A and B are shown apart, each in its own frame.
Chain A
Amino acid sequence: MSMLKRRMFLGLAAGATLAGCGYRSVDAIYSQPAGSVPKQYANRTRVVFWSPYGGVNGKAVDKLVAKFNDSQHDVYVEVQFQGSYDDVAQKVAAALVAKQAPDLAVLSDVTWERFFLNDALEPLNGYFTDGFGPGVYQEKLFGEYVVKGQSWAVPFARSTPIMYYNRDAFAKAGLPDRVPRTWSELRSWVPELAKVQSGGRSLRTIAFAKIDGDWQFQGNVWQFGGAYSKGLDVTIDEAGAVAAGEWQREMVHELGAAYMASSPSTDFANGLVGVIQESTGAMKTIGSKAKFKVGAGFIPSEVAAGIATGGGGIGMLRNISTERKQAAATFLQFLALPENSAWWTTQTGYLPVVNKAREDAELKKLIAEQPNYGVAIAQLENARRQDAIRLYGRNANVQIYTGLQQIYADNAQPKKVFASVARRLEVIGDEVKRLYEEKVL
């Protein structure tokens, strides 16, 4: 017995010693992730920028960064593509444990908070200039990163969901050339859409996302009069949220008009489904794939209007040198120039996060020619910051979309599913409560 105890003690002591070198020190300066700097940019301050954008949007990021690198002689920004929003968050956390830090990272609507709460982000107010800071950015989108007067990230690829619809299919079904105004109206269109044949079967009305569908569903819950939470007090098991879940369950299992898709936007672009709720940031990608006329409009209401903002903002890591911070800030200032913000919107469909970008001639021209690009901008007045449990509760989003999967896949009763999701969210809320009350409220 004593032998065992001694062994255990030795093990623990060894573990503690070894572990001791794994923790982050809040004010230490960490090394930069490796990479390569082309010859013509040597002797500049290097800034490593971790991005989750691939495909069409990734190319746009590369072009923006190249433009920045050629616009001055002091800073070289190196974009390092890291996968999804979640992948970026994982890799930043892993890097910090390994005492390494990228200088800038795109953090999603549900991941920047955990870095902020744990003192991993650099406060940005000190870097603000006339062209970079409050007043420059769209107020709502800027404000979401402000806690107690201090900015912890700035908006970049911000979005809301919009409704995309297949205009050709709508015409064949004899439906008006617009999105439905309410969810009830969409439901009443199910028989017409089912008459349209696509790929050897009748067209389904709507596809729900298997992964991350809880972002769109956040808005749906508001539209049916509910909320995920009030503060951190979980309300997903109450009437409004249950009604939203019930509406979707019936569409899938009673009407056979909806289904869960691994990628709703791929299915939509392939003409398998009439409408989807998808990020405005998918606009360019969908447009480039679809072989039919793509329409877009506001997300329908039911008893209320309201949609969730989402997408990525850029945070600066705290554990980097002053020189790297200053250099990184110059890139953020560059992104805040109206023409750059507008260009990013024209290349992707994301919201113009800078106010003056809306007056940009190129963007105005694009919206005049392709009104779809103006939908999210016009819809922004209905947009809201998401409920706190999804933003601050670690893994709350996964718990919610896992619950949605049970409704879509197993015909589980929303009331029952959300009751069990609520219990899990409460535990998650309790975990973050102390930090949330201390730093946010």
Chain B
Amino acid sequence: MSIVDLPARTHPDERTIADGNDQRKRRRRREYGLFALLVAPNLLVIAVFAYWPIIYNAFLSLTDWNMIAARPKFVGLANYGRTLTDPAFHKTLWITVVFTGLIVVGSLVIGLALAFLFNLPLKGRGAVRTIAFAPHILSGAAVATIWAFIFDPGYGLMRALIEPFGAEPPDWMNNSDWALPGLVIVYLWKNVGFAALIYLAGLQGLPKELDEAAAIDGASTWTRFRSIKLPLLAPITFFLLITTVIGTFQAFDVIAVMTGGGPGDATTTLSWSIYNEGFQAFNAGRAATLSIIMFVILLVVTTVQARVMERRVHYR
């Protein structure tokens, strides 16, 4: 029995189906080829600039290397043991959590409030919206330089504003109690405009019927906010929550310019300690270890957020 004979023996209908299958397979294969060709450049870039550093970083975290020595020394999990049991690391983690928490909650609450304000039909709101959003697009180093001036106890703007009332402003960046709140203020100022803009877009996309129906039924403004608008804005809140948590965890620019992690270790966040270990102390292994720890924390936080939100968020 030759292969050539095979089609002749099959039922005409079956043959068509088989041919169709083959064709579809071939077409699909061709489509896969095209797909691979199209995504390859992106994939390559991601592989080189995102995956390779992560893999290399994971490898470095198992070594002791000062970046200048010709060869790193393999030390297994020693860096992890040392880091996880170091009280300084625990304090850093705590500072990072407080710092992130304050900024995330602050950005969302103030951002939402501003969004409601901007949504009112007031005169000049276009200009105010622009002003509120502007800090978000400024470079962190520039923002830090401006705020360093505002906070400066000797010749700062804050001093000029507060002193006429007989009060003396705190030495924000040189005082352990005020440095972290000072940084939070700066990051809030920088972030709030973005949160407000996204919330505003969400507010404007809300269906008016629900709100009107509730108003006719006699629901108060607060009830309508709490029971209708807020739940409908949940996807927006979720998006902002994830991006702000990740962004704040990795915040570096303003810290570097304004406090350098100090005074003492009062503003040493995880991202600053990675820089300090890596580029001041030249301990590539320990810096890599801290990076991996940060990666894992963010992965867990994001996964948990996604799981929780899956149940709570109502996408329309």
* CA A406 to CA B261, docked complex, whole Å: 12
Number of interface residues of A (CB under 8 A): 45
Bound CA span A22–B154, Å: 47
Of the candidates B175, B280, B281, which one forms a contact with A409 in the assembled complex, judged by CB atoms under 8 Å apart? B175
A131 sits at the interface (CB 8 A): no
- Pick from B148, B175, B282 the residue with the most CB of A within 10 Å: B282
A267 to B153, CA, bound (A): 11
Nearest CB in chain B to that of A399: its residue:
B281
Contact of A86 with B280 at beta-carbon distance under 8 Å, contacts A211-B260, A394-B66 already known: yes
Asked if B68 is at the interface (CB within 8 A of a chain A CB), the reply is: yes
Complex Cα gap A120–B69 (Å): 8
Q: A409 contacts which chain B residues (CB < 8 A)?
A: 174-176, 262-264, 266
A200 proximal to B (CB < 8 A): yes
Cβ–Cβ contact B56 & A18, under 8 A? yes
Given contacts A15-B59, A394-B283, contact A410 B263 (CB under 8 A): yes
Contacts of A261 in B (CB 8 A): 154, 174
> In chain B, residues 15-69, which have Cβ atoms closer than 8 Å to a Cβ of chain A?
52, 55-56, 58-60, 62, 66-69
Query: In the assembly, what is the distance between CA of A344 and CA of B280, in Å?
Result: 29
Q: Which residue of B lies closest to A409 (CB)?
A: B263
Would you call A200 and B163 a contact (CB within 8 A)?
A: yes
| B68, A210: Cβ atoms closer than 8 Å | no
Within 8 A of B (CB), among A395-426: 395, 398, 402-403, 405-406, 408-410, 412
Question: What residues on B are CB-neighbors of A270 within 8 Å?
Answer: 154-155
- A116 → B minimal CB distance (Å): 10
Known: A11-B55, A398-B280. Contact between A260 and B263, CB under 8 A?
yes
Contact A210 B174 (CB under 8 A): yes
Interchain CB contact under 8 A, B282 and A394: yes
Residues of A within 8 A of B152 (CB): 262
In the complex, whether A202 has a CB less than 8 A from a CB of chain B is no
Decide if B174 touches A259 in the complex (CB within 8 Å): yes
Contact residues in A for B69 (Cβ distance below 8 Å): 24, 118
Query: Are B176's CB and A410's CB within 8 A?
Result: yes
Q: How far is the CB of A126 from chain B (nearest CB, A)?
A: 22
**Contact (Cβ within 8 A) B55 A15:** yes
In A258-295, the 8 Å CB interface with B consists of 259-262, 267, 270, 272
Contact B280 A114 (CB under 8 A): no
Name the distance in Å between B79's Cβ and chain A's nearest Cβ: 13
Inter-chain contacts of A94 with B (CB < 8 A): 67
Q: List 11 A-B contacts (CB under 8 A).
A: A15-B56, A24-B70, A93-B68, A93-B282, A97-B67, A210-B263, A260-B174, A394-B66, A395-B276, A402-B262, A409-B174
17 additional A-B pairs beyond A22-B56, A394-B66, beta carbons within 8 Å, are A12-B59, A14-B55, A15-B56, A19-B60, A23-B72, A24-B70, A86-B279, A114-B66, A114-B282, A118-B66, A200-B163, A210-B262, A272-B154, A398-B276, A405-B264, A406-B176, A409-B264
Interface residues of B (CB under 8 A from A): 52, 55-56, 58-60, 62, 66-72, 148, 152, 154-155, 163, 171, 173-176, 260-266, 276, 279-283
Which residues on A are within 8 Å of B, measured CB to CB?
A: 11-12, 14-16, 18-19, 22-26, 86, 90, 93-94, 96-97, 114-115, 118-120, 199-200, 210-211, 259-262, 267, 270, 272, 394-395, 398, 402-403, 405-406, 408-410, 412
Closest 10 CB pairs of A and B: A15-B59, A395-B281, A409-B263, A406-B264, A405-B263, A118-B68, A93-B67, A118-B69, A405-B262, A90-B279
